[in-house]
Chain A
Amino acid sequence: MGMTITEKILAQHAGVQHVEPGQLIMAGVDLALGNDVTAPIAIDEFKRHGGKEVFDKSRVVLVPDHFAPNKDIKSAVQCKILRDFAKEKGIENYFELGNMGIEHALLPETGLVAPGDLIIGADSHTCTYGAVGAFSTGVGSTDLAAAMISGKAWFKVPPSIKFVYHSSKKGKLKSWVYGKDVILFTIGEIGVDGALYKAMEFTGDVIDAMNMSERFTMCNMVIEAGGKNGIVVPDTTTVNYVNQRVKRAYTVFTSDADARYEHVYEYDLSNLKPQVAFPHLPENTKNIDEVGRIDIDQAFVGSCTNGWIEDLRIAASIVKGRKVNSNLRMIVIPATPQIYRQALKEGLIETFVDAGAVFSIPTCGPCLGGHMGVLAPGERAVATTNRNFKGRMGDLKSEVYLANPAVVAASAVLGRIGSPEELGIKG
């Protein structure tokens, strides 16, 4: 019996020939990540249990991205714990303000994640790196503490589910439809626990035609279906991306033809329309033309899901020469300093500012209701983020609608949720 790419990576890191779904393994990790919310607990545990040195100074990554720049005194203390620990232990990949970006965009961009890697991060969206063909999954602070000491983590080998996406136009989707819509559609189909404990493997001509940012967006949101990891078998798009960034040797794994999948879903996406997820679950998806009239108070483009340069380009192309509706605020946050710089070079920042939006330095910001755009009771936001749970972006009585950057930008101009087509823009 063959193995899936997920099983092969896990087997290799556990030092065994073969693994089966359900099997418990102890495996070596290539990278262990923490942020200003999760790492302080891990560092505390590390110290309480007599941790002296980290297992490998180049393989522990600390990113203060959630509440940084420090939004209040308590956050300042949390960030300081990371900074002091990084200095004390000689951790090479600590990202100070100026180099700091949202972890899940920063790590791929700086070449820290490579195909065939096994990566854990004390952040649920660590699953993002599956887009480069790595096994990558979110864990908790205690897992991070244990891994910082031992370089190891325990896993239950997940069964794999395969998703095959086709389109009659050689994998091309309709205008204003992106990876974000494919993953929202998928979560709408299978539900928020549709892939609980499982590996989601994405294939088909639609995936082949996607750029890396869309693949990152898709893998980013597998956790919203309960998935353990999302993964795309590396192809030339992947290899071109990582070769420009990764400076060490890596292994490309593929899935065997006779690998076992618990389920195979096949979708024809030739006619897929932009998707909008209604409060308060990512599975409450509707086609853009079924949305009805939803007035909004805030439009947000950013986060580890859609804060990539490609997303900013899409949003900018829509607000260019237009004005943000006077009934709402538009906030745009690039995911990393490099994306910020690129946006500056391409004149995107000017486009946003001219339209009446605000453009911020990289941070998680309002995505988790931290700062930079928290919602009041009764307010509604349309956002490119990944979660629309109750209270996610602020007060418990606020609402979040999830969409792609084109829909968010068009909505910012319209004052209600709508598509670029309503503005007469052709894709």
Chain B
Amino acid sequence: MIIRGNAHVFGNDIDTDVIIPARYLNTFDHDELAKHAMEGVEADFYKKVTKGDIIVGGSNFGSGSSREHAPIAIMATGISLVIARSFARIFYRNAFNIGLPLLEVNEDIDSIKTGTPLEVNLDTGLIKELLTNKVYNAAPIPEFMQELLRAGGLMNYMEKKGH
């Protein structure tokens, strides 16, 4: 699968409290959550997202709480993919469980700037900056996670497997 979108760059240790502050956890309405996505670091983030855009984070993206509101809020803004050096583990499983793909890149992605158009091949893990043709290699998404994505998340996957 190929994803094209503009980059929105964030730094290291973006935790779930800045992705979606706890005061908004008294609802799980997706549109409502989208309005507060990334509010801890960037107010009105959702207004800057065009459907299909890509978040580029640093290390330990999504650390902190187990709130699924975090990937839900990100996805509800129209973000189609998050790329980072590493992800916190509960965020990682939550994202795939709801069908939001993540790519872990063990390369220097710090030079990617907000607004840069990217093209990402989810099958090979190849990330390309479209203006400069600079490429980065991400670890391919593990087979089981790909199955989750293809099924449209864990619930559909379990249903299909008849668990």
Interface residues of A (CB under 8 A from B): 24, 26, 37-38, 40-41, 44-45, 48-50, 66-67, 71-72, 74-75, 77-78, 121-124, 126, 138-143, 145-146, 149-150, 152, 154, 192-193, 196-197, 223, 226, 228, 281, 368-370, 387, 389-392, 396
Partner of A145 from B67, B88, B144, B155 at Cβ < 8 Å: B155
Question: Taking each of B22, B93, B154, which has the highest tally of chain A beta carbons within 10 Å of its own beta carbon?
Answer: B22
B132 within 8 A of A: no
Partner of A391 from B27, B40, B72, B163 at Cβ < 8 Å: B40
Partner of B93 from A126, A143, A387, A389 at Cβ < 8 Å: A143
Residue of B nearest to A72 (CB): B26
Tell me whether A124 and B144 are in contact (CB under 8 A).
no
Tell me whether B94 and A142 are in contact (CB under 8 A).
yes
CB contacts (< 8 Å) of A37 on chain B: these are 25-26, 67, 69
A-contact bits for B1-32, CB 8 A (1 contact / 0 none): 00000000000010101100111011110000
Tell me whether B159 and A49 are in contact (CB under 8 A).
yes
Tell me whether A146 and B66 are in contact (CB under 8 A).
no
Q: Quick one: given A38-B68, A124-B64, A228-B89, are A143 and B26 in contact (CB under 8 Å)?
A: no
CB contacts (< 8 Å) of A149 on chain B: these are 158, 163
Question: Taking each of A44, A126, A139, which has the highest tally of chain B beta carbons within 10 Å of its own beta carbon?
Answer: A139
Tell me whether B66 and A139 are in contact (CB under 8 A).
yes
Tell me whether B27 and A74 are in contact (CB under 8 A).
yes
CB contacts (< 8 Å) of B13 on chain A: these are 192-193, 281
> Which residues of chain B (36-70) have a CB below 8 Å from chain A?
40, 59-60, 63-69
Tell me whether A197 and B89 are in contact (CB under 8 A).
yes
B90 within 8 A of A: yes
Tell me whether A140 and B90 are in contact (CB under 8 A).
yes
CB contacts (< 8 Å) of B109 on chain A: these are none
Partner of A226 from B27, B65, B88, B153 at Cβ < 8 Å: B88
Question: Taking each of A71, A141, A145, A369, which has the highest tally of chain B beta carbons within 10 Å of its own beta carbon?
Answer: A141
Partner of A74 from B18, B26, B64, B86 at Cβ < 8 Å: B26
CA distance A186 to B89 in the complex (A): 19
Residue of A nearest to B142 (CB): A24
User: What's the nearest-Cβ distance from chain A to residue B90, in Å?
Assistant: 5
A–B Cβ pairs within 8 angstroms, 22 of them: A26-B163, A38-B67, A38-B68, A40-B28, A41-B69, A45-B155, A49-B155, A78-B27, A122-B66, A123-B65, A140-B66, A142-B97, A142-B154, A142-B155, A146-B158, A152-B163, A193-B59, A193-B86, A368-B17, A369-B22, A370-B23, A389-B18
CA distance A24 to B63 in the complex (A): 22
Partner of A196 from B18, B66, B67, B89 at Cβ < 8 Å: B89
Partner of A138 from B15, B27, B90, B163 at Cβ < 8 Å: B90
User: What's the nearest-Cβ distance from chain A to residue B4, in Å?
Assistant: 27
B126 within 8 A of A: no
Tell me whether A387 and B17 are in contact (CB under 8 A).
yes
Partner of B90 from A50, A139, A193 at Cβ < 8 Å: A139
CB contacts (< 8 Å) of A368 on chain B: these are 17, 22, 65
Tell me whether B23 and A124 are in contact (CB under 8 A).
no
CA distance A368 to B26 in the complex (A): 12
Question: Taking each of B17, B60, B68, B94, which has the highest tally of chain A beta carbons within 10 Å of its own beta carbon?
Answer: B68
Tell me whether A41 and B40 are in contact (CB under 8 A).
no
User: What's the nearest-Cβ distance from chain B to residue A191, in Å?
Assistant: 9
Partner of A150 from B65, B66, B158 at Cβ < 8 Å: B158
Q: Quick one: given A38-B66, A226-B63, are A140 and B25 in contact (CB under 8 Å)?
A: no
Q: Quick one: given A37-B67, A193-B60, A281-B13, are A370 and B22 in contact (CB under 8 Å)?
A: yes
- Give 18 new A-B contacts, CB below 8 A, not counting A74-B26, A142-B94: A24-B144, A41-B69, A41-B72, A71-B26, A122-B66, A123-B65, A123-B66, A124-B64, A140-B68, A142-B68, A142-B155, A143-B93, A145-B155, A146-B97, A152-B163, A369-B21, A389-B18, A392-B17
Tell me whether A41 and B68 are in contact (CB under 8 A).
yes
Across the A-B interface, give the 5 residue pairs with the lowest CB-CB distance, nearest first: A140-B94, A74-B26, A142-B97, A140-B68, A124-B66
User: What's the nearest-Cβ distance from chain B to residue A83, in Å?
Assistant: 15
CA distance A209 to B65 in the complex (A): 30
Tell me whether A146 and B155 are in contact (CB under 8 A).
yes
CA distance A72 to B24 in the complex (A): 12
CA distance A390 to B13 in the complex (A): 11
CB contacts (< 8 Å) of B88 on chain A: these are 193, 196, 226
CB contacts (< 8 Å) of A145 on chain B: these are 155
Residue of A nearest to B162 (CB): A150
CB contacts (< 8 Å) of A228 on chain B: these are 89
